[in-house]
Chains A and B, each alone.
Chain A
Amino acid sequence: EPEVTQTPSHQVTQMGQEVILRCVPISNHLYFYWYRQILGQKVEFLVSFYNNEISEKSEIFDDQFSVERPDGSNFTLKIRSTKLEDSAMYFCASSNPGTGSYEQYFGPGTRLTVT
Chain B
Amino acid sequence: AQTVTQSQPEMSVQEAETVTLSCTYDTSENNYYLFWYKQPPSRQMILVIRQEAYKQQNATENRFSVNFQKAAKSFSLKISDSQLGDTAMYFCAFMKHAGANNLFFGTGTRLTVIP
Contacts and interface: CB of A to CB of B under 8 A. Distances in A.
Contacts of A75: none
| Main SS at interface, chain A | strand
Contacts of A103: 35, 47, 50
| Main SS at interface, chain B | loop
B45 A50 contact: no
B91 A55 contact: no
Contact-residue size bin, chain A (C-beta under 8 Å from the other chain): 20 to 34
Nearest to B42: A108
B45 A106 contact: yes
B102 A45 contact: yes
B104 interface: yes
Contacts of B91: 42-43
Interface of B: 33, 35, 37, 42-47, 50, 91, 93, 95, 97, 99-108
